[in-house]
Amino acid sequence: MPSTRPPNARTPSVVPEQLGFAGMPERLFVCTPSKLGAFADCPRRYRYSYVDRPTPPKGPPWAHNSLGASVHTALKNWYAVPVESREPGVLPRLLKATWVREGYRDVDQERVTYRAALRWLETYVHGLDPVDEPLGVERVVATKTAVLAFNGRADRIDSRRGADGPEAVIVDYKTGRSGLDADDARGSQALALYAYAAQRVFRRPSYRVELHHLPTGTVVSHEHTEESLARQVRRAEDTARDIMAAEKAVAAGADPDAEFPTNPGALCSWCDFRKSCPTGREAPAKDPWTSVEHLTLTS
């Protein structure tokens, strides 16, 4: 049927509501556990890490980070060797191949720390069944909520038999000086988010989370419920909303220092950005090797 509109008539404007765009949700907040944790620990550290460009200069590498990375990668590679080779005798080769040398006071301290790490690994793998194949090692799991686009790399995800069938168990390795207790596993937002995402990736229940402290051989665990996982997800979403509001305010011209305030405390001495932060500069400085000095005293 021929159009009855005059040939020179203008097309009326179409407002977003007419296209169904009214009330569109804001973009999802793309995050990892470390990104959420940075803001929770100190909004200013989050800003230095993820907002400011160029990123402020960081301090020297920390020996405890080098130690943790070395041990984690050695355990990852343990599961990459053939089953018949998964025995303690391969650990020196695996650890040497992954050893990170940064942050130590000197060669002697590095050597002592290496020997301690090797002892931890040898003791730990004695308790592992070499034929067990985890669901994932250094496995990325990801999921979305109404607010978050979450992804994270779990140290290990085990397949274990539960009361109702196979379950995914989240395992996180720890190499820090301090011991752990059940509250550390229960309160860990990162572990809860891994479990929440693992349920969706592997399509099986995932409620049990474990922290494996290699220096002491301690394993602490927590059995989540749907309700407790949901609480941790809501907590993560609340953090994400706070971050997005602060970023939006800064983009609109607000004072970055006011939107991303400091959170003074013991962590200031260990912050990578201590020298860039006026508050951090007031905290006692730590040498990069401070947290591994006890190994020199006890080895």
**Per-residue model confidence (pLDDT) at position 166:** 93
Tens digits of residue pLDDT in 69-80: 999 999 999 999
State the DSSP string of 234-266: HHHHHHHHHHHHHHHHHHTT--HHHHS----SG
| pLDDT < 70 stretches in the chain | 1-26, 297-299
CA distances from 86 to 53, 242, 288 (A): 45, 46, 34
**Per-residue model confidence (pLDDT) at position 299:** 56
Quote the CA–CA distance of 155 and 142 in Å, as a whole number: 14
Q: Are 93 and 86 in contact (CB under 8 A)?
A: no
**Per-residue model confidence (pLDDT) at position 164:** 81
Q: Are 75 and 88 in contact (CB under 8 A)?
A: no
**Per-residue model confidence (pLDDT) at position 16:** 41
| Residues forming a β-bridge with 148 | 29
Mean pLDDT of the chain: 91
Domains parsed from the chain with CATH numbers = 63-126 (no CATH), 136-234 (3.90.320.10)
**Per-residue model confidence (pLDDT) at position 297:** 67
**Per-residue model confidence (pLDDT) at position 2:** 46
